[in-house]
Amino acid sequence: MLKIDNLHATIADKPILKGLDLSVNAGEIHAIMGPNGAGKSTLGYVLGGRAGYEVTEGAVTFDGKDLLDMGADERAAAGLFLGFQYPVEIPGVSNVQFLRTALNAQRRARGDEEMSAGDFLRLSRAQADALGMSMDMMKRPVNVGFSGGEKKRNEMVQMGILDPKLAILDETDSGLDIDALRVVGDGINRIMRKPDKAVLLITHYQRLLEIVEPDFVHVLAAGRIVRSGGAELALELEREGYGAIAA
Amino acid sequence: MSDVRNREAHDAAEKAATYEWGFTSDIEQEFAPKGLSEDTVRFISGKKNEPEWMLDWRLKAYRKWLEMRAPDWAKMQVPPIDYQDAYYYAAPKKKIELASLDELDPEIRRTYEKLGIPIEEQKVLAGVAGARKVAVDAVFDSVSVATTFREELKKAGVIFLSISEAIREYPEMIRKWLGKVVPMHDNYFATLNSAVFSDGTFVYIPEGVRCPMELSTYFRINAANTGQFERTLIVADRGSYVSYLEGCTAPMRDENQLHAAVVELVALDDAEIKYSTVQNWYPGDSEGKGGIYNFVTKRALCQGRNSKVSWTQVETGSAITWKYPSCVLAGEGSVGEFYSVALTNNRQQADTGTKMIHLGKNSRSTIVSKGISAGRSDNTYRGLVRVGPTAENVRNFTQCDSLLLGDQCGAHTVPYIEVRNPTAQIEHEATTSKISEDQLFYAMSRGLSQEDAVALIVNGFAREVLKQLPMEFAVEAQKLLGISLEGSVG
Ligand SMILES: Nc1ncnc2c1ncn2[C@@H]1O[C@H](COP(=O)(O)OP(=O)(O)OP(=O)(O)O)[C@@H](O)[C@H]1O
Ligand SMILES: [Mg+2]
């Protein structure tokens, strides 16, 4: 589904990703771990198509198409979802309005019919319920005044409504209390653990991986994948830290 | 009458058959001679069969105007205007009185469509059963060519007429109120308007009447080099209520066009007037060529106890806007509100705001201004809050927010506060922010195109103001903000 080949990327001419390879097939969940500043969020932004993140070398395909050739909105329409480490506030725009605009923009781009207001309301209610978010919050401006944990939960509600093929979730677990971690973890499994979907789960902690069990774990350090393994690699990292690997 | 109408319809159909798609409709104009003189003033007055007193009033204004000088353009660059190089009167050649807008010249109808008049309004124009009742007084160039719903309004005792008709039919009322709120010599452009105003609207809501529908007027400028001098007067008698919508668009033009309207509102005891404007006149091209000069004087007199006037405006058009809808809060407990979104792009210049003049005890005012600047435009909020010495317990709240798109545009906030009574409570808040890269990427990563993302963020920024608009206007205004910013980012 996603094939990253020798990816090099810079921010303001500063090399951050330095030859990253990664292959993700449908039905798989990949965890990406690694020290602060290694380039994990950068990878998410590059895949998401953020302006200012320049790819200097390498290739990325998504479902066989050249991902790097697409705009951020086209990538979303193609089924890519980026869960933000720091979700952004948009004052004056309600969650519901934001998501309905987004969903219908994606549908139009795919040549599908727009979803009616009634259907959308049912869908958003179901997704909000499943993640323990009230409709009151759905009507509030996007992320404005939300607590850190609420913002992360909101990212998952968005994912549930947009129903992507590939989700890149950047530290969705940080800032969540113990119960919320369970709710969010269950949400990821419910929405994304399907044979035709895949997840890149960026995290620092084993706790989330106990709920969302990864098929593969990769260590990203200094802009490259330096080690890959199964779920047991996360346990090893938790015990021994990155010192030995990243050095 | 119906013969005349048949002939008109026939003529219109013939014209439509040969109509070439373009932004200028070729309806015949009857021009006043070019230039401005006493003769021009007499011509206009004569065309309208005005009584002697009206002509005298106009001439007095004209002579006054000759002695005045154009204002000093703070913050703005206004090219010199040659007042002799314009026409001061243009009207469709034959006066057509239509029973309904259905019979409106198809060419005008299509121009309206091209200009994107909202569907709901079009349904009303088309007379679709169940369509929302919005009385439409369509001003095509300078003369009202169609008026609907007159009967129903009449039943309620509401007077809703073109000002020329009102001058003939209700001379006492016009003499009593015209120039009462905006005196003839108020400012350069108001004085010019007083001399040469060609048409506009008069509304009177009788005591205790809630106007049974929203009143709406579409102003449009069509003829090349024709300045528009609308004159609007709304009087809300004791305990009455009216919501008046004014929407404006103009076709593509190269020549700069002067627009100097005067709007006067009067609210007596316990009366309320809600005046909403969406202004989308041609702003000029991306290099600033062409575009409308919009120099408007809008003022309300809250004369009665607990009277209330609420101005809401969405200003996206015009090359130059100079406009301060104001409230003179004379009545005890009177309330003035000003909600404004002013958007400038490319080379547009806007200097807009309000004046809240507190004279009455316990009078209150609220000002919410949202300025959006893009391209190389300049956007200034200029607002005055004045509290007179005998006005006890006045309260004012002002919120001024500016949003910048790009780094070549300007946003300025110029508040003037003059308080002569120590019991007043005045609050002023101001913010300036840039549309953030984070917000843009966040929205785009959810599937919105860059233009839709900008439109969404800008609409969110302006929400407090947009929600003050009547429903059908709010939808249109939202679209307008997006359209006006196309190509401004990225
Ligand atoms: N706009 C920028 N300009 C310069 N350097 C930047 C910019 N954005 C990120 N970086 C640098 O890129 C590197 C990678 O950052 P990134 O956010 O991808 O790290 P990360 O692996 O997600 O870290 P964390 O675990 O702390 O979230 C860091 O050294 C960071 O300082
Ligand atoms: Mg990060």
pLDDT tens readout for residues B324-344: 999 999 999 999 999 999 999
**CA-nearest residue, atom 19 of ligand 1:** A37
- Our answer on whether the CB atom of A223 is closer than 6 Å to any ligand 1 atom is no
Residue A76: list chain B partners with CB under 8 A: 444-447
Predicted confidence (pLDDT) at residue A99 exceeds the cutoff of 90: yes
Reported as a pLDDT band with limits 50, 70 and 90, residue B483 is confident
Q: Is any Cβ of chain B less than 8 angstroms from the Cβ of A157? A: no
How many Å lie between the alpha carbon of A127 and the closest alpha carbon of chain B? 16
Phi then psi for residue B403, to 5 deg, are: -120, 130
Q: What is the mean pLDDT of residues B26-50?
A: 80
- Residue A50 near chain B (CB below 8 Å): yes
* CA–CA separation, B390 and B361 (whole Å): 7
Residue B38 · residue B94 · CB < 8 Å: no
Q: Which of B446, B448, B449 sits opposite A158 (nearest CB)?
A: B446
Q: Between vectors from CA B94 to CA B91 and to CA B98, what angle results, nearest 5°?
A: 100
* Cross-chain residue pair A51–B461, CB shorter than 8 Å: no
Interface test mutation site (partner B, options A41, A50, A140, max chain B beta carbons within 10 A): A50
- Nearest ligand 1 atom to the CA of A44 is 18
Give the residue from chain A lying closest to B460, CA to CA: A92
Check if A54 has its Cβ closer than 6 Å to any atom of ligand 1: no
Distance (Å, whole) CA B430 – CA B397:
11
Atom 27 in ligand 1: which residue has the minimum CA distance? A36
- Give the ipTM of the model, two decimals please: 0.97
Contact A102 B448 (CB under 8 A): yes
Contact B139, B220 (CB under 8 A): yes
Query: What share of chain B has pLDDT > 90, as a percent?
Result: 55
pLDDT of residue B392: 97
Question: Measuring CA to CA, how many Å separate A136 from each of A96, A125, A133?
Answer: 10, 10, 8
Mean pLDDT of B157-180: 93
Q: Which residue has the tokens 């009067």?
A: B266
Searching chain B, which residue's CA lies closest to the CA of residue A108?
B447
- If 0-12 CB within 10 Å is exposed, 13-18 middle and 19+ buried, where does residue B295 land? buried
What would the pLDDT profile of A58-67 be if each residue is shown by its tens digit?
A: 999 999 999 9
> Looking at residue B205, what is its pLDDT?
97
* 8 Å CB contact of B441 and A93: no
How would residue B31 be classed by pLDDT, with cut points 50, 70 and 90?
A: low
CA of A160 relative to ligand 1 center, distance in Å: 28
CA of A69 to the centre of ligand 1 (A): 23
Query: Higher model confidence: residue B137 or residue B54?
Result: B54
Q: Where are the domains of chain B?
A: 2-323
Q: Once rounded to an integer, what is the mean pLDDT over residues B208-228?
A: 66
Q: Which residues of B touch A71 (CB under 8 A)?
A: 444, 449-450
Q: Mean pLDDT, to the nearest integer, of A103-117?
A: 96
Helices (H), A110-174: 117-130, 135-139, 148-162
Chain centre to alpha carbon of residue B322: 12
Q: Any CB–CB contact under 8 A between A98 and chain B?
A: yes
pLDDT at B465 over 70: yes
Residue A47 Cβ inside 6 Å of ligand 1? The answer reads no
CA A208: distance to chain centroid?
Answer: 14
Measured in angstroms, the CA of A18 and the nearest CA of chain B are apart by: 24
Q: How far is CA B242 from the centre of its chain?
A: 16
CA of B211 to the centre of ligand 1 (A): 61
Q: Among A47, A70, A73, pick the best mutation site for testing chain B contact (most B Cβ within 10 A).
A: A73
For residue B397, the distance in angstroms to the closest alpha carbon of chain A comes to 20
CB of A224 within 6 A of ligand 1: the answer is no
Q: What is the DSSP string of B163-219?
A: HHHHHHH-HHHHHHHTTTSS-TTSSHHHHHHHHH--EEEEEEE-TT-B-SSEEEEEE
User: Which residues from A are below 8 Å from B456, CB to CB?
Assistant: 90, 93, 97-98, 101
Q: B3 Cβ partners below 8 Å, 6+ apart?
A: none
Taking residues B257-270, what's their average pLDDT?
94
Is any Cβ of chain B less than 8 angstroms from the Cβ of A92?
A: yes
A48 touches chain B (CB under 8 A): yes
Give the pairing of strands A80-83 and B326-329: unpaired
Angle between helices B188-196 and B52-66 (to 10 degrees): 150
Testing the interface with B: which of A42, A70, A88 to mutate, by most B Cβ within 10 A?
A: A88
Residue of B nearest to A163 (CA): B446
In terms of Cα–Cα distance, which of B58, B59, B87 is closest to B227? B87
Mean pLDDT of chain B: 81
Percentage of chain A modeled with pLDDT above 90: 95
Distance CA B363, CA B336 (A): 8
Q: Which residue of B has its CA nearest to A140?
A: B460
Are β-strands B425-434 and A80-83 bridged in parallel, bridged antiparallel, or unpaired?
unpaired
Which pLDDT score, from 0 to 100, does residue B7 have? 46
Which residue among B439, B444, B447 sits closest to A90, beta carbon to beta carbon? B439
Write the residue in B439, B444, B462 that is nearest to A72 by C-beta: B444
Domain ranges of chain A: 2-246
Q: Is A41 in the pocket of ligand 1 (CB under 6 A)?
A: yes
* DSSP label at residue A211: H
Is pTM beyond 0.80? Reply is yes
For residue B140, CA distances in Å to A126, B111, B112, B123, B226 come to 51, 11, 10, 19, 12
- Name the residue at shortest CA distance from atom 7 of ligand 1: A11
Q: Is A39 in the pocket of ligand 1 (CB under 6 A)?
A: yes
**Does residue B258 sit in helix, strand or coil?**
strand
> What is the pLDDT confidence band of residue B84, given thresholds at 50, 70 and 90?
confident
Q: What is the mean pLDDT of residues A141-169?
A: 97
- Per the CB < 8 Å rule, is B464 touching A92? yes
Query: Candidates 3.40.50.720, 3.30.2090.10, 3.30.70.20, 3.40.50.300; correct CATH number of A2-246?
Result: 3.40.50.300
Q: Is the predicted pLDDT of residue B34 greater than 80, yes or no? A: no
Q: Do A88 and B457 touch (CB under 8 A)?
A: no
What is the number of H-type helices and E-type strands within chain B?
Answer: 13, 23
Query: How far does the centroid of ligand 1 lie from the alpha carbon of residue A42, in Å?
Result: 6
Decide: A26 in ligand 1 pocket, CB within 6 A: no
Mean pLDDT, range B297-305, rounded to an integer: 98
Q: Residue-wise over B416-451: b if at least 16 C-beta within 10 A, else e?
A: eeebeeeebebeeeeeeeebeeebbbbbbbbbbbbb
Q: How far is CA A124 from the centre of its chain?
A: 19
B279 sits in which H/E element: strand B272-280
Composition of chain A by helix, strand, coil, percent to 5: 40, 30, 30
A103 touches chain B (CB under 8 A): yes
Tens of pLDDT along B39-73?
A: 999 999 998 899 999 999 999 999 999 999 988 76
Please give the distance of CA B318 from its chain centroid, rounded to a whole number: 12
> What whole-number distance in Å separates Cα of residue B305 and Cα of residue B308?
9
Does ligand 1 have an atom closer than 6 angstroms to the CB of A13? no
Residue A11 beta carbon below 6 angstroms from any ligand 1 atom: yes
The shortest C-alpha distance from A91 to chain B (Å) reads: 6
